[in-house]
Structure 1
Amino acid sequence: MTILQALSRLGERMEADGHLPPLGYSPEKISYVISLNDDGTPVDVHDLRDVTGKKPLPRTVAVPQAIKRTSGVAPNFLWDKTAYVLGVTAGEGKRLAEEHAAFVERHLTELKDADDPGLVALRLFLERWTPADFVARNWPEAMKDQNVVFARESERRSRYLHDRPAAKALWARMNAAADATLGICLVSGETAPIAVLHPSIKGVWGAQSSGASLVSFNQASFESYGHEQGLNAPMSVAAAARYGGALNELLRRDSGHSVQIGDASTVFWAEAVDPDVSEDDMAIVDAVSQGWFADIPEVDLTKQSAEVGAALSRLRSGEPIALVRPQLAKGVRFYVLGLSPNAARLSVRFYLEDDFGAVAERYAMFASEMQIDPPPRTTSLALWRYLLEVAVLGKRENVPPTLAGEWMRSILAGTPYPRTLLSSVLVRLRADGDVNAMRVAILRALVIRNFRLHPEKEAPVAFDPENTNKGYLLGRLFAVYEQIQQAALGNVNASIKDKFYGAAAAQPQKVFALLDKGSAPHLSKLAKQKPGYKVVLEKHVSSIMELMQPGADPFPIALAPQEQPLFGLGYYHQRNEFFKSTKDVAAQEEVAQ
């Protein structure tokens, strides 16, 4: 199934469930309603915004489909921003008079034969209104440049003007009367009116705030066979509205189905394809997938039904989907789509469609490869958080553009991780020396999947004192030398990790001779201060050197690509061994003495 087919089917289900407005309408952010008497005189303006938070938030209202504006003047029907509706704006308003005149002209033309009391009231209002009335009536300045709708004063609390049956019937006739080219829809396969302009998609990070196009043709070089704009990729008006509505709904910040991964605004959803899949089953899918992708707190099992809570509890303990809920493995299709901005358009970074069970197995493999001990402080990590570890200053806008898409694709498809991920992590380690749990987890996952190392033997989860991999041993040894310095001198402005970590991981022969020579005065100092601990540290050095392959140079000129990540893993494990309680250290000293 193509992206647009999947989104259109989702939009059809949302429309049937009441989560999307009917065809010809779109959800828009409305801030004020102007109430009118039947003779067209305005009664008052009423603030529809949610003012409970720090910043007032507009209310989302289903209104007649918004006009897709480019550079021209084009008024919406029965609603718009105040520049069009009232002729007032907070800015300069270079086209203010033209925009207001266009709104008035359109409505006087469309409403000239209307006999509905609400539509007549709007027509009379527009015939008399002048922009100077805004100040005369002392309407709020905050109203300027906000979207407004109308209502009869007698029914202001029950419905808006565009919800009246007469208004809906008029809007339907206007849409039917519009020039439409019939064609075979690429999504449905049916003959229907073809959409010339596709919906604007809003909510993609970095794209235009007014929305960007997923499908568009605005250059002659993009067109063929004399077709213009959307006729080059024929899609029915209904299918276009559904895929646009579904995608906009998914991209809402509070939808629970979108997350930013690098430069890709990522949405995910599921579809039941087996009639045996119940609502409880889909609730489980939602809870599990949100744990994978979104930065959402874990679902409170006590607030779920007994059946859902028990299933989620078993899944969290590591049981496979196929054992917990067999119907989910093949009876649910799962979709993931990543979009990034490209001027006024959107580009697809990645798209995956597969059985939910297959995706769950690949995620479980990813989670297993990412295991590390001690773990990160945050036990439940959404996928996007790992990418912050390769970004300068830890900012998501600094994640390398193509890396996010390639990394996500590798997780979802079970393919090798991008090689640029390894170089990106190593560069950050050399730049700031922060060898933390998430970075080391990425390094471990890379060597397991990309270099096919045995995880238990060569890339262990926890500290492995018997591991003989050269990269792992050199990482451990580097951590011991750092501990010798810290034990002798305490915290210093620039430790050996700050000075030598990057060089030691890449070219150990140059660095370790210096570290061994530099440790001698530190050990001499420890002999006077903590003689027992000096012996302990010397035994650490000798025990690591004994594990080196006999006859081989313990400090090679360079480490192989698969050994450099293991250097970080060995350093992390050994370093955390030194963070044990002071009781353990005291016990070690006592044994050494």
Structure 2
Amino acid sequence: MILSALNDYYQRLAEEEKVPLPGFSSEKVSFCLVFSQDGKPLQIDDLRDTSGKKPRPSPCQVPVDKRRTSGIHAYPLWDKTAYALGVSAGEGKRLADEHAAFKARQFVLFGESDDPDLSAFLRLLDQWRPERLAELPGYGEEVLDTNVIFRLDGQRQYLHENREARRLWSVALESDEGGVGQCLITGELAPLGTDHPAIRGVRDAQSSGASLVSFNSDAYESYGYSKNQNASISKSAIFGYSTALNHLLRGDADNRQRLQIGDATVVFWAKARDTAHAEAAEGFFAMLNEPPSDEQEAAKLGTLLKQVAEGRILAELDPMLEADTQFFVLGLAPNAARLSVRFWHVDSLEHLAQHYAYHHQDMSLDPSPWKGVAPAMWRLLFATAPSRDGKAKAEDVSPQLAGELTRAILTGSRYPHSLLTNVIMRMRNDGDISGIRVALCKAVLARQGRLSAHSNSTTQEVPVSLDPHSTHPGYLLGRLFAELENAQERAIPNANATIRDRYYGAASATPASVFPVLLRNTQNHLSKLRKGDEKDKAIAGAIARSISEIVDGLKDQFPKSLLIEDQGRFAIGYYHQSRARFANKGSFAKNAEAEQGESE
């Protein structure tokens, strides 16, 4: 299914002329050797891109039949200098053999051609001496070990673009060296291929590329076939799927079809009735996974997702987004010299949009920790990693958790329970009770309650904003802890550490062992405030009233321990109560004035 979908996507890209034709590959080329009609080398042209700080090779579509591994294999009409010119920066033991293989292959492919350009090229090879390279104008040591192409003097096109050269190369590719059989991808009878090109661009995989299809052990072989002969795939289909996947994985700055989620490099594409609708769907999905930084645009996306969650048809919101557009999402992770499929998801655009809308709905908090819509998935995963000085590292993100979270968002299924456990553990360990972490706790609990087949009638809904009427012990304890911290901060401004730094983990896990001590200390803090000016006295009264109301809801009993779900509600209650006082900076002053009026 994966290879078939990729091969279909190649057909679309080929029609748009965005990818090479069969038998060609986009390779990084740095220099060109210009030669005369009589085969004399004239100069070296620099083809590198010099727009940046450092010259970079330019992409060029050149003939390629299979990838080069440990053996010697030359390419037609281009190659690195060791093969094409017999020159290298090092003294390789097989340098002469590589150059001889290059010359031999060019004569095999083009030796019988009467094309004047190809004949001139063969004359160049016949009389070429490696030591002559250093004498050519334009030569520098940076030429060595780069890819070079060729051009006949006076011609605008390069030799590999020559019409006769391409015809002869096509004839060579059509040889049924691998035998004819039924292709597993297309179902057609066609020449079968045995070499699958390297897939490049997957983070942390080998820089030279890794294999998606390969057989390296007898245990994977059967019916007398060896290695890749066990995968009955035609040459054209192999070229199609590999070219499409390498296109999706390209490192261009304008590539919005590639994401990094944990250790998985994710690519996606759409299949619609025409290119315009497919590209619109791909752009929309890219925006869902990397929301715009502009506050106004983020707000527009948030409004659209809210309408989708409420049942609005996607096409009504944007005519270019058709509900039945088929969408493909593929996650790849490195595995030595090979690639592992971390996840593969196929769905309609309408369903994907609904699932993302539910995700943003489940993540919603008031006050919101972000502007517009929930952050990108990689930011959510960073919140599950250890925080060092407020920063997390990608290698600390659990690959399994990243895959499960992605799958839950794409399919609308339950979030992994390990997500809640992981986030709570991180908050207890590093004391970073960030809005994103609290939102993840809220999302897991909210979706779990919504999707529960046998909903417990005693289970309260997870609130989006501060709920003063909630009687859930975990939520009330979180609110109480925030108020106790507030009393400490008011009594001891600019303290080096608060009760959150010392007691948050214990208070959320074993409340009965911590809260009685904290409440006694809070009386000292309130007593100190009451000895201050009128404003401090009023603030002390407002905090004491808030604490009393919360404790009354607990019925004067602190649970010995809290389940992991209740610890999640503890974090939500703490977030709501602590943010509420920041939302209205004058709330305590207003309460103070009210209390003063009552006392008078």
Common fold: TM-score over 0.5: yes
Is 1:345 the equivalent of 2:334?
Answer: no
| Conserved 8 A contact 1:458-1:469 | no
Alignment match, 1:383: 377
Deviations 1:327-370 (A, max 9, x none): 95543111111111111111111111111111111111111101
Distance in 2, Cα, partners of 1:295 & 1:136: 55
Q: What TM-score, normalized by structure 2, do the two folds share?
A: 0.89
Distance in 2, Cα, partners of 1:56 & 1:431: 47
Q: Which of 165, 168, 178 is equivalent to 1:167?
A: 165
Correspondence 1:28-427 to 2 at 5 A: 28-65=27-64, 67-91=66-90, 93-137=92-136, 139-156=139-156, 159-177=157-175, 179-254=177-252, 255-272=255-272, 275=273, 281-294=277-290, 315=304, 318-319=307-308, 320=312, 321=314, 323-324=316-317, 328=321, 330-380=323-373, 381-392=375-386, 393-427=391-425
Shift of 1:295: 6.5
Shift of 1:424: 1.5
| Conserved 8 A contact 1:204-1:265 | yes
Secondary structure at the residue paired with 1:349? strand
Is 1:567 the equivalent of 2:562?
Answer: no
> Aligned in 2, Cα 1:297/1:87: closer, same or farther, shift over 3 Å?
farther
- More deviation in 82-91 or 566-575? 82-91
Distance in 2, Cα, partners of 1:344 & 1:323: 47
| Conserved 8 A contact 1:257-1:267 | yes
Distance in 2, Cα, partners of 1:329 & 1:398: 38
Secondary structure at the residue paired with 1:513? helix
| Conserved 8 A contact 2:65-2:173 | no
Distance in 2, Cα, partners of 1:502 & 1:299: 35
Opposite residue 243 of structure 1, the aligned amino acid is Y
> Aligned in 2, Cα 1:136/1:535: closer, same or farther, shift over 3 Å?
same
| Conserved 8 A contact 2:305-2:357 | no
Deviations 1:467-512 (A, max 9, x none): 2211111111111111112112223333211111122111111221
Opposite residue 304 of structure 2, the aligned amino acid is L
> Aligned in 2, Cα 1:560/1:120: closer, same or farther, shift over 3 Å?
same
Secondary structure at the residue paired with 1:60? strand
> Aligned in 2, Cα 1:215/1:525: closer, same or farther, shift over 3 Å?
same
Distance in 2, Cα, partners of 1:42 & 1:568: 74
Secondary structure at the residue paired with 2:215? coil
Alignment match, 1:534: 540
Opposite residue 160 of structure 1, the aligned amino acid is Y
> Aligned in 2, Cα 1:465/1:314: closer, same or farther, shift over 3 Å?
closer
Opposite residue 148 of structure 1, the aligned amino acid is V
Opposite residue 477 of structure 1, the aligned amino acid is L
- More deviation in 469-478 or 28-37? 28-37
Distance in 1, Cα, partners of 2:65 & 2:429: 49
Opposite residue 532 of structure 1, the aligned amino acid is A
Opposite residue 259 of structure 2, the aligned amino acid is V
Deviations 1:124-151 (A, max 9, x none): 3223333333333361222333222112
Is 1:500 the equivalent of 2:503?
Answer: yes
> Aligned in 2, Cα 1:413/1:22: closer, same or farther, shift over 3 Å?
same
Shift of 1:410: 1.3
Shift of 1:572: 1.0
- More deviation in 255-264 or 79-88? 79-88
Secondary structure at the residue paired with 1:268? strand
- More deviation in 487-496 or 402-411? 487-496
Deviations 1:203-251 (A, max 9, x none): 1111111111111112211100001222212111111111111111111
Alignment match, 1:436: 434
- More deviation in 163-172 or 31-40? 31-40
Distance in 2, Cα, partners of 1:71 & 1:378: 52
> Aligned in 2, Cα 1:495/1:141: closer, same or farther, shift over 3 Å?
farther
Distance in 1, Cα, partners of 2:549 & 2:501: 25
- More deviation in 346-355 or 319-328? 319-328
Opposite residue 391 of structure 1, the aligned amino acid is A
RMSD of equivalent CA atoms: 2.6
- More deviation in 313-322 or 231-240? 313-322
> Aligned in 2, Cα 1:299/1:576: closer, same or farther, shift over 3 Å?
closer
- More deviation in 224-233 or 256-265? 224-233
> Aligned in 2, Cα 1:327/1:104: closer, same or farther, shift over 3 Å?
closer
Opposite residue 332 of structure 1, the aligned amino acid is T
Distance in 2, Cα, partners of 1:68 & 1:470: 63
| Conserved 8 A contact 1:214-1:347 | yes
> Aligned in 2, Cα 1:54/1:498: closer, same or farther, shift over 3 Å?
farther
Distance in 1, Cα, partners of 2:104 & 2:493: 79
Distance in 1, Cα, partners of 2:246 & 2:292: 20
Distance in 2, Cα, partners of 1:66 & 1:431: 54
Percent of paired sites with the same residue: 42
Deviations 1:97-153 (A, max 9, x none): 433332233224433333323222322322333333333336122233322211223
Is 1:587 the equivalent of 2:581?
Answer: no
Distance in 2, Cα, partners of 1:288 & 1:508: 46
| Conserved 8 A contact 1:259-1:295 | no
Distance in 2, Cα, partners of 1:233 & 1:300: 51
> Aligned in 2, Cα 1:256/1:470: closer, same or farther, shift over 3 Å?
same
Distance in 2, Cα, partners of 1:29 & 1:330: 39
> Aligned in 2, Cα 1:317/1:415: closer, same or farther, shift over 3 Å?
closer
Opposite residue 58 of structure 1, the aligned amino acid is P
Distance in 2, Cα, partners of 1:103 & 1:280: 44
Alignment match, 1:483: 486
- More deviation in 353-362 or 76-85? 76-85
Distance in 2, Cα, partners of 1:501 & 1:98: 69
Runs of 5+ in structure 1 lacking a partner?
Answer: 302-310
Shift of 1:564: 1.1
